[in-house]
Every structure is written in structure tokens, then in C-alpha cells.
Structure 1
């Protein structure tokens, strides 16, 4: 029961960062989505140690565990539009796979270069 309450409070805290980010975006009229601003604020607080990871770890883990469920309706919704899957569907699949591979390559290449630079220092 205590863990459930902890998860609920932590998810509420994560939602508070979302709300603060959207409030900042509305207040300043920035072209960046408020959810991104909230994530940046959360990252800054975590990196500086102002907000300990233990204050959000269970809530974030809970949300990440159920994240794939949010993609199921989108996938089912695409099935209702067969035109998307005929001509442009193949192109979209190829572009998605290519983009994924390029992202993985760039991340691996950058990690390897940074790792070598750290070893040399």
C-alpha cells in the first residue's frame, strides 16, 4: 500500500513538472512545447542534485512500464487507413528503419569517440 501511494505521489510530481513547463511556455510564448521545458527543468534539477533521483524513480519506472500501451491505439488506427500502407506505407517503413539505424550509428560513433577521449585524458 505504501509503494502504491509513493508511485502516485511521484507520478503527480512528474505531472507537476509538465504543468510548470506548459505554464512557462504559455507565459513566455516560447515555440518549444511545454512538456519539453518541463523535462529540461527536471533534468537540470536532477543534474544539480537539487532533486534526488529517489523522489521520482518509482513513478518514472511505473510510467515507462506502461508506455507501450499508449502506442497500441495508434497502430490499430493506422489499419483503418489502408492507403497509408499501400504506396507510402512501404516508404514510411523504409524511412523509419533507415532513421533508426542512422540514429543508432550516430549514437554509437559519438559514444566511442567520447570514450576514447576520456581514456586519453
Structure 2
């Protein structure tokens, strides 16, 4: 029964994301709206973390199984893909490396701040964030 309640909460937030997608005329997927709503609800303690923790852990554990249909789809489309698999592989690797590099630089900038700030001032938010995360676990 505990899992049913937790999944129900997650589904309700997901449904609210679908409603927002219908109401707001932006090209943002409903799943992103749902994630933002869940983040805000957890951050402002509208939804206690313990009320969705077990279901969230379960969904993370079974996540690899969710990629099976996509892999089967690639296998079914192999006849069309085999002519372009080398450019596709190159594009995938280059774009992945580019995204990782940009994300790393943005993260470094966010953590360390601009050059004009002192090292101590740049480390304070990092320590505060680490304390918040350990508090939630």
C-alpha cells in the first residue's frame, strides 16, 4: 500500500505537468514541467521526501529496463541505419563530449564564481549545499 501511495503522488505530479503543458504554450515537454513541479514541491516541503523516496529508488533501479524498447527499435531499424552508422556514431560521440565539456565549465563557474570573488566566498555555497544534501539523506 505504501508503494501505491508513493506512485500515486508521483503520477499526480506528472499529471500536473501534463496540465501545465496544455495550458502554457511553450515548446517544453510535459515531463520537464513535472520534474520542475516535483523539485519545487520537495524543496519547499509541500511533499515530504519520505513520501516518495521508496518509489523513486525503485524506479531508478529498474531504469535500465526502460531502455530495452529503444534498443529493440534500433535493431528493427538497422537496415536503414547501417548506411549511416559511422556519421551517426561520430555525431553522437562529438555531441556527448561537447555537452559534457560545457556542463563541466558551467558547473565550475557556478561553484567557483567569477574571478573577482575570494576563494572563501566561492567555497561557502559549496559547503552549504553539501550540508543540505547530507541533511536530506
Q: Calculate the TM-score normalised by the size of structure 2.
A: 0.67
Larger RCO (alpha carbons 8 Å, 6+ apart):
1
Please name the residue that 1:9 is paired with.
5
Quick check: 1:18 aligned with 2:14?
A: yes
Provide closer, same or farther for how the CA distance between residues 72 and 104 of structure 1 changes in structure 2, counting only shifts above 3 A.
farther
Partner residue in 2 for 1:117: 121
Unaligned runs of 5+ in 2: 126-137
Q: Which has the higher helix share?
A: 1
Q: 1:69 to 1:31 in 2, by over 3 A?
A: same
Distance in 1 separating the partners of 2:66 and 2:95: 22
Alignment gaps of 5+ in structure 1: none
Counterpart Cα distance in 2 of 1:43 and 1:88? 34
TM-align CA RMSD: 2.7
Q: Residues 25 and 32 of structure 1 are in contact (CA less than 8 Å); yes or no, is this contact kept in structure 2?
A: yes
Alignment length (residue pairs):
117
After the TM superposition, which parts of structure 1 deviate over 4 Å for at least 4 consecutive aligned residues? 118-121
Superimposed CA distance per residue, residues 24-50 of structure 1 (whole angstroms, 9 cap, x where no aligned partner)? 321344433222222222222211122
Alignment match, 1:107: 107
**Distance in structure 1 (CA, Å) of the matches to 2:18 and 2:41:** 17
Structure 2 CA distance for partners of 1:62 and 1:72, relative to 1, 3 Å? same
Q: Aligned ranges for residues 1-121 of structure 1 at < 5 Å?
A: 5-79=1-75, 80=78, 81-113=81-113, 116-117=120-121, 119=123
TM-score, with normalisation over the residues of structure 1?
0.74
Partner Cα distance (1:16, 1:120) in 2: 36
The structure-2 alpha-carbon separation of the partners of 1:45 and 1:69, relative to structure 1 and needing over 3 Å to count, comes to same
